[in-house]
Amino acid sequence: MQTISITDYAHWREIVRGLIHSEISPQHVQLLEANGQQSLFGDADLPSPTAAQTRSTTFRVPPKFLSLAETIACHRSGSRWNLLYRTLWRILHEHRSLLEIETDDDVLQLTKMEKQIRRDAHKMKAFVRFRRVEQGGEEFFIAWHQPDHRILRRVAPFFSRRFKGMNWTILTPDESVSWDQTSLTWGQGVPRHEAPAFDQLEDLWRTYYANIFNPARVKVKMMKSEMPVRFWKTLPEAEIIAALLADAPRRVDEMVEKHEGFAETAADLITARLTPPLTLSALRELARECTACSLHCDATQTVFGIGPEQARIVLLGEQPGDQEDLAGKSFVGPAGELLQEAAEAAGLRLSECYVTNVVKHFKFKLTEAPALGRQPRGKRRLHQKPDAREIRACRPWFEAELSCLPEAQVLICLGATALNAVAGPGTRIHDRRGRIFSTRHSQQTIATWHPAAILRSPDTIRDTKRQQLIDDLKLAVDTVFA
Protein backbone atom coordinates (compact mmCIF):
# COMPACT_ATOMS: atom_id res chain seq x y z
CA MET A 1 0.00 0.00 0.00
CA GLN A 2 1.41 3.38 -1.00
CA THR A 3 0.89 6.46 1.13
CA ILE A 4 0.83 9.91 -0.39
CA SER A 5 0.43 13.22 1.44
CA ILE A 6 -1.83 15.68 -0.31
CA THR A 7 -1.34 19.41 0.17
CA ASP A 8 -4.38 20.79 -1.63
CA TYR A 9 -6.91 20.24 -4.39
CA ALA A 10 -4.51 21.06 -7.24
CA HIS A 11 -2.05 18.60 -5.76
CA TRP A 12 -4.76 15.93 -5.42
CA ARG A 13 -5.63 16.35 -9.11
CA GLU A 14 -2.02 15.99 -10.14
CA ILE A 15 -1.52 12.89 -7.99
CA VAL A 16 -4.76 11.30 -9.11
CA ARG A 17 -3.86 11.82 -12.77
CA GLY A 18 -0.67 9.83 -12.12
CA LEU A 19 -2.51 7.12 -10.17
CA ILE A 20 -5.07 6.61 -12.89
CA HIS A 21 -2.41 6.61 -15.55
CA SER A 22 -0.54 3.90 -13.58
CA GLU A 23 -3.80 2.01 -12.94
CA ILE A 24 -3.32 2.06 -9.19
CA SER A 25 -6.71 1.38 -7.68
CA PRO A 26 -7.95 3.08 -4.47
CA GLN A 27 -7.40 -0.16 -2.52
CA HIS A 28 -3.67 0.16 -3.09
CA VAL A 29 -3.11 3.75 -2.11
CA GLN A 30 -3.75 5.99 0.91
CA LEU A 31 -4.15 9.71 0.26
CA LEU A 32 -3.53 11.57 3.49
CA GLU A 33 -3.65 15.17 4.63
CA ALA A 34 -0.17 16.71 4.30
CA ASN A 35 -0.29 18.52 7.68
CA GLY A 36 1.72 21.39 6.33
CA GLN A 37 4.58 19.14 5.13
CA GLN A 38 6.00 19.24 1.67
CA SER A 39 4.35 17.11 -0.96
CA LEU A 40 5.54 13.55 -0.60
CA PHE A 41 4.72 12.74 -4.17
CA GLY A 42 8.35 11.72 -4.78
CA ASP A 43 8.33 9.32 -1.79
CA ALA A 44 5.39 7.48 -3.18
CA ASP A 45 7.45 6.17 -6.03
CA LEU A 46 4.73 6.85 -8.54
CA PRO A 47 5.71 7.07 -12.15
CA SER A 48 4.90 10.61 -13.31
CA PRO A 49 3.23 10.35 -16.71
CA THR A 50 5.15 11.85 -19.60
CA ALA A 51 3.29 14.32 -21.80
CA ALA A 52 2.80 11.63 -24.45
CA GLN A 53 1.51 9.14 -21.89
CA THR A 54 -0.80 11.71 -20.42
CA ARG A 55 -2.23 12.30 -23.89
CA SER A 56 -2.66 8.58 -24.48
CA THR A 57 -4.38 8.10 -21.11
CA THR A 58 -6.56 11.16 -21.31
CA PHE A 59 -9.78 10.43 -19.45
CA ARG A 60 -12.89 12.51 -19.27
CA VAL A 61 -14.34 13.33 -15.89
CA PRO A 62 -17.95 14.54 -15.63
CA PRO A 63 -17.91 18.31 -14.87
CA LYS A 64 -20.31 17.65 -12.00
CA PHE A 65 -17.67 15.53 -10.30
CA LEU A 66 -14.99 18.18 -10.77
CA SER A 67 -17.09 20.90 -9.21
CA LEU A 68 -18.11 18.55 -6.37
CA ALA A 69 -14.47 17.58 -5.77
CA GLU A 70 -13.46 21.24 -5.60
CA THR A 71 -16.09 21.79 -2.93
CA ILE A 72 -15.25 18.67 -0.93
CA ALA A 73 -11.58 19.66 -0.96
CA CYS A 74 -12.55 22.40 1.53
CA HIS A 75 -13.89 19.87 4.01
CA ARG A 76 -11.99 19.34 7.23
CA SER A 77 -12.34 15.54 7.11
CA GLY A 78 -9.04 13.73 6.64
CA SER A 79 -10.76 11.02 4.63
CA ARG A 80 -11.87 13.30 1.81
CA TRP A 81 -8.93 12.68 -0.55
CA ASN A 82 -9.44 8.90 -0.41
CA LEU A 83 -13.19 9.26 -0.75
CA LEU A 84 -12.79 11.49 -3.79
CA TYR A 85 -10.31 9.20 -5.44
CA ARG A 86 -12.48 6.13 -4.80
CA THR A 87 -15.48 7.92 -6.28
CA LEU A 88 -13.52 9.04 -9.33
CA TRP A 89 -12.16 5.53 -9.84
CA ARG A 90 -15.69 4.12 -9.64
CA ILE A 91 -16.98 6.73 -12.10
CA LEU A 92 -14.27 5.76 -14.58
CA HIS A 93 -14.41 2.00 -14.04
CA GLU A 94 -17.89 1.11 -12.76
CA HIS A 95 -20.55 3.66 -13.47
CA ARG A 96 -20.20 6.91 -15.40
CA SER A 97 -23.37 8.27 -13.75
CA LEU A 98 -22.46 7.17 -10.24
CA LEU A 99 -23.23 10.63 -8.84
CA GLU A 100 -26.86 10.22 -9.87
CA ILE A 101 -27.22 7.18 -7.57
CA GLU A 102 -28.29 9.01 -4.45
CA THR A 103 -28.38 5.89 -2.29
CA ASP A 104 -24.78 4.93 -2.96
CA ASP A 105 -22.72 5.17 0.26
CA ASP A 106 -19.93 7.23 -1.26
CA VAL A 107 -22.38 9.56 -3.00
CA LEU A 108 -24.36 9.95 0.22
CA GLN A 109 -21.21 10.81 2.11
CA LEU A 110 -20.14 13.36 -0.50
CA THR A 111 -23.59 14.94 -0.56
CA LYS A 112 -23.56 15.29 3.20
CA MET A 113 -20.11 16.88 3.15
CA GLU A 114 -21.12 19.22 0.34
CA LYS A 115 -24.09 20.41 2.39
CA GLN A 116 -21.85 21.04 5.39
CA ILE A 117 -19.56 23.19 3.27
CA ARG A 118 -22.45 25.17 1.83
CA ARG A 119 -23.91 25.76 5.27
CA ASP A 120 -20.54 26.87 6.57
CA ALA A 121 -20.07 29.26 3.64
CA HIS A 122 -23.52 30.70 4.24
CA LYS A 123 -22.73 31.25 7.91
CA MET A 124 -19.47 32.94 7.05
CA LYS A 125 -21.23 35.36 4.72
CA ALA A 126 -23.76 36.12 7.41
CA PHE A 127 -21.51 36.38 10.47
CA VAL A 128 -18.24 37.96 9.41
CA ARG A 129 -17.99 41.34 11.11
CA PHE A 130 -15.40 43.89 10.02
CA ARG A 131 -13.76 46.27 12.42
CA ARG A 132 -12.35 49.57 11.29
CA VAL A 133 -8.64 50.21 11.67
CA GLU A 134 -6.71 53.33 10.67
CA GLN A 135 -3.14 53.08 9.55
CA GLY A 136 -1.07 55.91 8.07
CA GLY A 137 -4.23 57.91 7.46
CA GLU A 138 -5.76 55.01 5.53
CA GLU A 139 -8.83 53.10 6.51
CA PHE A 140 -8.83 49.29 6.70
CA PHE A 141 -11.42 46.81 7.80
CA ILE A 142 -10.45 43.65 9.58
CA ALA A 143 -12.45 40.62 10.58
CA TRP A 144 -11.57 37.41 12.31
CA HIS A 145 -13.68 34.34 11.72
CA GLN A 146 -13.41 30.65 12.50
CA PRO A 147 -15.14 28.58 9.83
CA ASP A 148 -15.73 24.86 10.35
CA HIS A 149 -14.11 24.06 7.02
CA ARG A 150 -11.44 25.56 4.78
CA ILE A 151 -13.86 27.73 2.89
CA LEU A 152 -12.08 31.08 2.80
CA ARG A 153 -11.08 30.72 -0.86
CA ARG A 154 -14.65 29.92 -1.87
CA VAL A 155 -16.18 32.77 0.06
CA ALA A 156 -13.59 35.55 -0.43
CA PRO A 157 -14.90 36.51 -3.93
CA PHE A 158 -18.30 37.17 -2.37
CA PHE A 159 -16.75 39.70 0.02
CA SER A 160 -14.74 41.34 -2.75
CA ARG A 161 -17.97 41.95 -4.66
CA ARG A 162 -19.95 43.00 -1.61
CA PHE A 163 -17.27 45.32 -0.15
CA LYS A 164 -15.61 46.26 -3.41
CA GLY A 165 -14.70 49.81 -2.43
CA MET A 166 -13.05 48.97 0.90
CA ASN A 167 -9.63 47.70 1.87
CA TRP A 168 -10.29 44.69 4.03
CA THR A 169 -8.69 41.61 5.52
CA ILE A 170 -10.33 38.47 6.77
CA LEU A 171 -8.27 36.41 9.17
CA THR A 172 -9.04 32.77 9.88
CA PRO A 173 -6.96 30.21 11.78
CA ASP A 174 -6.12 28.49 8.44
CA GLU A 175 -5.18 31.45 6.28
CA SER A 176 -5.94 35.09 5.67
CA VAL A 177 -7.01 37.13 2.68
CA SER A 178 -6.78 40.84 1.91
CA TRP A 179 -8.61 42.89 -0.69
CA ASP A 180 -7.07 46.18 -1.89
CA GLN A 181 -10.06 47.12 -4.09
CA THR A 182 -8.38 45.40 -7.03
CA SER A 183 -7.17 41.95 -6.11
CA LEU A 184 -7.09 39.35 -3.37
CA THR A 185 -3.83 38.48 -1.61
CA TRP A 186 -3.44 35.37 0.51
CA GLY A 187 -1.46 35.04 3.71
CA GLN A 188 -0.89 32.98 6.85
CA GLY A 189 -3.62 31.93 9.26
CA VAL A 190 -4.01 33.85 12.51
CA PRO A 191 -5.04 32.32 15.83
CA ARG A 192 -7.84 34.06 17.66
CA HIS A 193 -5.64 35.55 20.38
CA GLU A 194 -3.70 37.46 17.71
CA ALA A 195 -6.79 38.85 16.00
CA PRO A 196 -7.00 42.65 16.33
CA ALA A 197 -9.02 43.93 19.23
CA PHE A 198 -9.98 47.22 17.60
CA ASP A 199 -13.63 47.89 17.94
CA GLN A 200 -14.38 51.22 16.36
CA LEU A 201 -16.80 49.57 14.01
CA GLU A 202 -18.75 47.88 16.70
CA ASP A 203 -21.16 50.72 17.27
CA LEU A 204 -21.98 50.73 13.60
CA TRP A 205 -22.61 47.04 13.66
CA ARG A 206 -24.79 47.41 16.69
CA THR A 207 -26.89 49.97 14.87
CA TYR A 208 -27.07 47.82 11.78
CA TYR A 209 -28.06 44.76 13.71
CA ALA A 210 -30.61 46.65 15.73
CA ASN A 211 -32.17 47.78 12.48
CA ILE A 212 -32.43 44.46 10.75
CA PHE A 213 -33.34 42.55 13.85
CA ASN A 214 -37.03 41.81 14.05
CA PRO A 215 -37.97 40.54 17.49
CA ALA A 216 -41.45 39.67 16.27
CA ARG A 217 -40.02 36.95 14.10
CA VAL A 218 -37.25 35.70 16.31
CA LYS A 219 -37.44 32.37 17.96
CA VAL A 220 -34.61 32.17 20.45
CA LYS A 221 -33.94 28.50 19.76
CA MET A 222 -33.75 29.06 16.03
CA MET A 223 -31.61 32.14 16.51
CA LYS A 224 -29.12 30.13 18.53
CA SER A 225 -28.94 27.42 15.92
CA GLU A 226 -28.54 30.00 13.15
CA MET A 227 -25.91 31.89 15.09
CA PRO A 228 -23.84 29.32 16.95
CA VAL A 229 -22.52 30.40 20.33
CA ARG A 230 -19.00 29.90 18.92
CA PHE A 231 -19.57 32.98 16.74
CA TRP A 232 -21.09 35.10 19.45
CA LYS A 233 -17.75 36.03 20.92
CA THR A 234 -16.86 38.01 17.79
CA LEU A 235 -20.28 39.55 17.40
CA PRO A 236 -20.81 42.86 19.12
CA GLU A 237 -24.55 42.61 18.50
CA ALA A 238 -24.74 39.64 20.86
CA GLU A 239 -24.66 42.15 23.70
CA ILE A 240 -27.88 43.76 22.58
CA ILE A 241 -29.81 40.62 21.68
CA ALA A 242 -31.48 40.48 25.08
CA ALA A 243 -32.54 44.11 24.82
CA LEU A 244 -33.80 43.60 21.30
CA LEU A 245 -35.76 40.53 22.24
CA ALA A 246 -37.71 42.66 24.63
CA ASP A 247 -38.18 45.45 22.07
CA ALA A 248 -41.25 46.05 19.94
CA PRO A 249 -41.71 44.31 16.55
CA ARG A 250 -40.82 46.26 13.42
CA ARG A 251 -41.86 46.05 9.77
CA VAL A 252 -39.47 43.53 8.35
CA ASP A 253 -39.88 44.26 4.67
CA GLU A 254 -39.13 47.91 5.17
CA MET A 255 -35.99 47.03 7.08
CA VAL A 256 -34.84 44.50 4.54
CA GLU A 257 -35.49 47.10 1.85
CA LYS A 258 -33.43 49.67 3.69
CA HIS A 259 -30.55 47.27 4.14
CA GLU A 260 -30.65 45.62 0.78
CA GLY A 261 -27.01 46.51 0.29
CA PHE A 262 -26.07 44.15 3.08
CA ALA A 263 -28.10 41.13 2.10
CA GLU A 264 -26.88 38.56 -0.36
CA THR A 265 -29.19 37.77 -3.26
CA ALA A 266 -29.02 35.37 -6.19
CA ALA A 267 -28.00 38.36 -8.32
CA ASP A 268 -24.53 38.12 -6.74
CA LEU A 269 -24.08 34.63 -8.11
CA ILE A 270 -25.66 35.37 -11.49
CA THR A 271 -23.56 38.44 -12.20
CA ALA A 272 -20.38 36.79 -10.95
CA ARG A 273 -20.76 33.66 -13.04
CA LEU A 274 -22.80 34.41 -16.12
CA THR A 275 -22.32 36.91 -18.88
CA PRO A 276 -25.29 38.07 -20.94
CA PRO A 277 -27.11 36.92 -22.96
CA LEU A 278 -28.44 34.59 -20.27
CA THR A 279 -29.99 31.26 -21.17
CA LEU A 280 -32.46 29.17 -19.23
CA SER A 281 -30.16 26.15 -19.23
CA ALA A 282 -27.19 28.14 -17.88
CA LEU A 283 -29.42 29.64 -15.19
CA ARG A 284 -30.84 26.26 -14.25
CA GLU A 285 -27.36 24.78 -13.91
CA LEU A 286 -26.07 27.69 -11.84
CA ALA A 287 -29.13 27.76 -9.57
CA ARG A 288 -28.11 24.35 -8.26
CA GLU A 289 -25.26 26.13 -6.47
CA CYS A 290 -27.33 28.96 -5.00
CA THR A 291 -26.70 29.68 -1.32
CA ALA A 292 -28.13 33.21 -1.24
CA CYS A 293 -30.37 32.31 1.69
CA SER A 294 -30.23 29.49 4.19
CA LEU A 295 -33.05 27.40 2.65
CA HIS A 296 -30.57 25.50 0.51
CA CYS A 297 -29.12 23.95 3.69
CA ASP A 298 -32.10 21.72 4.40
CA ALA A 299 -33.78 21.38 1.01
CA THR A 300 -32.92 18.38 -1.15
CA GLN A 301 -32.23 20.42 -4.25
CA THR A 302 -32.96 23.61 -6.15
CA VAL A 303 -36.22 23.29 -8.05
CA PHE A 304 -35.89 25.51 -11.08
CA GLY A 305 -38.60 26.59 -13.51
CA ILE A 306 -39.51 24.46 -16.48
CA GLY A 307 -41.02 25.12 -19.90
CA PRO A 308 -40.19 26.17 -23.43
CA GLU A 309 -38.28 29.35 -24.18
CA GLN A 310 -41.10 30.39 -26.54
CA ALA A 311 -43.71 30.18 -23.76
CA ARG A 312 -46.29 32.94 -24.00
CA ILE A 313 -47.73 32.36 -20.54
CA VAL A 314 -45.66 32.24 -17.36
CA LEU A 315 -47.06 30.72 -14.17
CA LEU A 316 -45.45 31.78 -10.92
CA GLY A 317 -46.02 29.74 -7.75
CA GLU A 318 -44.64 30.17 -4.25
CA GLN A 319 -42.00 27.50 -3.65
CA PRO A 320 -41.59 23.77 -4.26
CA GLY A 321 -43.48 21.53 -1.85
CA ASP A 322 -42.43 18.26 -0.28
CA GLN A 323 -42.87 16.19 -3.42
CA GLU A 324 -41.39 18.83 -5.71
CA ASP A 325 -38.32 19.02 -3.48
CA LEU A 326 -37.76 15.28 -3.88
CA ALA A 327 -38.58 15.15 -7.59
CA GLY A 328 -36.69 18.33 -8.52
CA LYS A 329 -39.67 19.50 -10.59
CA SER A 330 -42.33 22.06 -9.76
CA PHE A 331 -46.03 21.29 -9.34
CA VAL A 332 -45.84 17.49 -9.28
CA GLY A 333 -47.70 17.07 -5.96
CA PRO A 334 -51.39 17.54 -5.06
CA ALA A 335 -51.34 21.27 -5.89
CA GLY A 336 -49.85 20.38 -9.27
CA GLU A 337 -52.65 17.89 -9.94
CA LEU A 338 -55.29 20.51 -9.26
CA LEU A 339 -53.43 23.02 -11.43
CA GLN A 340 -53.31 20.49 -14.25
CA GLU A 341 -57.06 19.80 -13.97
CA ALA A 342 -57.90 23.51 -13.90
CA ALA A 343 -55.63 24.22 -16.86
CA GLU A 344 -57.30 21.49 -18.90
CA ALA A 345 -60.72 22.88 -18.04
CA ALA A 346 -59.53 26.34 -19.16
CA GLY A 347 -58.09 25.04 -22.42
CA LEU A 348 -54.53 25.83 -21.34
CA ARG A 349 -51.69 23.44 -22.13
CA LEU A 350 -49.28 23.61 -19.19
CA SER A 351 -46.56 21.98 -21.28
CA GLU A 352 -46.57 25.11 -23.45
CA CYS A 353 -46.22 27.44 -20.44
CA TYR A 354 -43.18 28.30 -18.38
CA VAL A 355 -43.90 27.22 -14.79
CA THR A 356 -41.74 28.42 -11.93
CA ASN A 357 -41.72 29.56 -8.32
CA VAL A 358 -40.67 32.73 -6.51
CA VAL A 359 -38.48 30.70 -4.15
CA LYS A 360 -36.53 27.77 -5.51
CA HIS A 361 -35.94 25.76 -2.34
CA PHE A 362 -38.49 23.98 -0.16
CA LYS A 363 -38.93 25.63 3.22
CA PHE A 364 -40.29 23.34 5.91
CA LYS A 365 -40.22 22.44 9.54
CA LEU A 366 -40.04 18.89 10.83
CA THR A 367 -42.98 17.88 12.97
CA GLU A 368 -44.11 14.69 14.64
CA ALA A 369 -47.33 13.69 12.88
CA PRO A 370 -49.92 10.96 13.46
CA ALA A 371 -50.59 8.28 10.84
CA LEU A 372 -52.35 9.76 7.82
CA GLY A 373 -53.91 7.46 5.21
CA ARG A 374 -51.13 5.15 4.10
CA GLN A 375 -48.44 7.34 5.66
CA PRO A 376 -47.18 5.92 8.97
CA ARG A 377 -46.84 8.01 12.12
CA GLY A 378 -43.52 9.86 12.19
CA LYS A 379 -41.66 12.98 11.23
CA ARG A 380 -43.25 15.09 8.45
CA ARG A 381 -41.89 18.05 6.60
CA LEU A 382 -44.44 20.76 7.10
CA HIS A 383 -44.50 23.55 4.50
CA GLN A 384 -43.61 27.02 5.77
CA LYS A 385 -44.08 30.31 3.99
CA PRO A 386 -40.86 31.93 2.79
CA ASP A 387 -40.10 35.23 4.50
CA ALA A 388 -39.27 38.59 2.94
CA ARG A 389 -35.52 38.01 3.09
CA GLU A 390 -35.76 34.64 1.33
CA ILE A 391 -38.03 36.05 -1.34
CA ARG A 392 -35.69 38.95 -1.89
CA ALA A 393 -32.68 36.63 -2.07
CA CYS A 394 -34.35 34.33 -4.60
CA ARG A 395 -36.32 36.74 -6.78
CA PRO A 396 -33.40 37.49 -9.15
CA TRP A 397 -33.72 33.93 -10.43
CA PHE A 398 -37.30 34.57 -11.51
CA GLU A 399 -36.33 37.91 -13.03
CA ALA A 400 -33.51 36.23 -14.94
CA GLU A 401 -35.89 33.48 -16.10
CA LEU A 402 -38.32 36.13 -17.39
CA SER A 403 -35.51 37.83 -19.29
CA CYS A 404 -34.97 34.54 -21.16
CA LEU A 405 -38.61 34.30 -22.28
CA PRO A 406 -38.91 36.78 -25.16
CA GLU A 407 -42.43 35.68 -26.14
CA ALA A 408 -43.93 35.89 -22.64
CA GLN A 409 -47.12 37.94 -22.76
CA VAL A 410 -49.00 37.07 -19.61
CA LEU A 411 -47.74 36.42 -16.09
CA ILE A 412 -50.05 34.45 -13.81
CA CYS A 413 -49.33 34.75 -10.10
CA LEU A 414 -50.56 31.71 -8.22
CA GLY A 415 -51.24 32.83 -4.66
CA ALA A 416 -50.26 35.70 -2.43
CA THR A 417 -46.52 35.02 -2.22
CA ALA A 418 -46.16 35.23 -6.01
CA LEU A 419 -48.43 38.27 -6.19
CA ASN A 420 -46.59 40.06 -3.38
CA ALA A 421 -43.25 39.32 -5.02
CA VAL A 422 -44.29 41.07 -8.21
CA ALA A 423 -46.84 43.65 -7.03
CA GLY A 424 -45.50 44.50 -3.56
CA PRO A 425 -46.23 43.27 -0.05
CA GLY A 426 -49.81 43.36 1.17
CA THR A 427 -51.44 42.99 -2.27
CA ARG A 428 -54.37 40.58 -1.93
CA ILE A 429 -55.53 37.96 -4.42
CA HIS A 430 -59.11 38.73 -3.52
CA ASP A 431 -58.68 42.36 -4.65
CA ARG A 432 -56.78 41.60 -7.85
CA ARG A 433 -58.13 38.37 -9.30
CA GLY A 434 -60.36 38.18 -12.36
CA ARG A 435 -58.71 40.97 -14.37
CA ILE A 436 -55.50 42.01 -16.05
CA PHE A 437 -53.21 44.56 -14.42
CA SER A 438 -49.71 45.83 -15.00
CA THR A 439 -46.66 45.15 -12.80
CA ARG A 440 -43.00 45.85 -13.26
CA HIS A 441 -42.58 42.24 -14.35
CA SER A 442 -45.36 42.08 -16.92
CA GLN A 443 -47.80 44.54 -18.44
CA GLN A 444 -50.35 41.75 -18.43
CA THR A 445 -50.37 40.21 -14.98
CA ILE A 446 -53.16 38.02 -13.62
CA ALA A 447 -53.49 36.98 -9.98
CA THR A 448 -55.38 33.90 -8.90
CA TRP A 449 -55.77 31.46 -6.03
CA HIS A 450 -52.92 29.10 -5.34
CA PRO A 451 -54.09 25.51 -5.95
CA ALA A 452 -52.75 24.47 -2.52
CA ALA A 453 -54.84 27.20 -0.89
CA ILE A 454 -57.90 25.88 -2.74
CA LEU A 455 -57.20 22.38 -1.43
CA ARG A 456 -56.99 23.76 2.12
CA SER A 457 -60.20 25.84 1.80
CA PRO A 458 -63.34 24.83 3.67
CA ASP A 459 -65.72 22.65 1.62
CA THR A 460 -68.20 25.50 1.33
CA ILE A 461 -65.94 27.71 -0.77
CA ARG A 462 -63.59 25.20 -2.38
CA ASP A 463 -65.64 24.75 -5.54
CA THR A 464 -66.10 28.47 -5.99
CA LYS A 465 -62.37 29.06 -5.74
CA ARG A 466 -61.62 26.16 -8.07
CA GLN A 467 -63.97 27.69 -10.64
CA GLN A 468 -62.32 31.09 -10.18
CA LEU A 469 -58.93 29.51 -10.81
CA ILE A 470 -60.29 28.06 -14.06
CA ASP A 471 -61.79 31.43 -15.04
CA ASP A 472 -58.50 33.22 -14.39
CA LEU A 473 -56.53 30.70 -16.43
CA LYS A 474 -59.10 31.09 -19.19
CA LEU A 475 -58.60 34.86 -19.07
CA ALA A 476 -54.91 34.25 -19.78
CA VAL A 477 -55.75 31.92 -22.70
CA ASP A 478 -58.19 34.45 -24.18
CA THR A 479 -55.67 37.28 -23.80
CA VAL A 480 -52.90 35.41 -25.55
CA PHE A 481 -54.71 33.27 -28.12
CA ALA A 482 -57.86 35.24 -28.93
Tell which positions 170-229 bind ligand URA, by CB under 6 A: none
Cβ proximity to ligand URA: between 291 and 357 the closer is 357
Single out the segment in contact with ligand URA by CB under 6 A; choices: 84-92, 235-243, 244-252, 316-324: 316-324
Cβ proximity to ligand URA: between 237 and 401 the closer is 401
Cβ proximity to ligand URA: between 263 and 350 the closer is 350
Smallest distance, ligand URA to C-beta of residue 450, A:
6
**Size of residue set near ligand URA by CB under 6 A:** 13
End-to-end CA, the chain: 74
| 26 touching ligand URA, by CB under 6 A | no
- Residue at shortest CB range from ligand URA: 317
Main-chain phi, psi angles of 380, to 5 degrees: -125, 150
* Residues whose CB falls within 8 Å of the CB of residue 244, separated by 6 or more in sequence, listed in order: 209, 210, 213, 215
Among 320, 393, 444, 468, binds ligand URA (CB under 6 A): 320
Q: What is the dihedral of CA 461, 467, 468, 470, to 10 degrees?
A: 150
Cβ proximity to ligand URA: between 145 and 361 the closer is 361
Smallest distance, ligand URA to C-beta of residue 317, A:
3
Would you say 145 and 230 are in contact if contact means Cβ atoms under 8 Å apart?
no
| 324 touching ligand URA, by CB under 6 A | yes
**Number of CB atoms found within 10 A of residue 102's CB:** 9
Among 7, 169, 319, 468, binds ligand URA (CB under 6 A): 319
Smallest distance, ligand URA to C-beta of residue 473, A:
15
Contact letters for ligand URA, residues 434-463 (x by CB under 6 A): ------------------x-----------
Give CA–CA dist 303/479, Å, rounded. 29
Contact letters for ligand URA, residues 327-366 (x by CB under 6 A): ---xx-x-xx--------------------x---------
Give CA–CA dist 303/330, Å, rounded. 6
Alpha-carbon dihedral sign for residues 136, 158, 274, 305: negative
Single out the segment in contact with ligand URA by CB under 6 A; choices: 11-19, 215-223, 225-233, 325-333: 325-333
Main-chain phi, psi angles of 320, to 5 degrees: -65, 150
Residues in contact with ligand URA by CB under 6 A are: 317-321, 324, 330-331, 333, 335-336, 357, 452
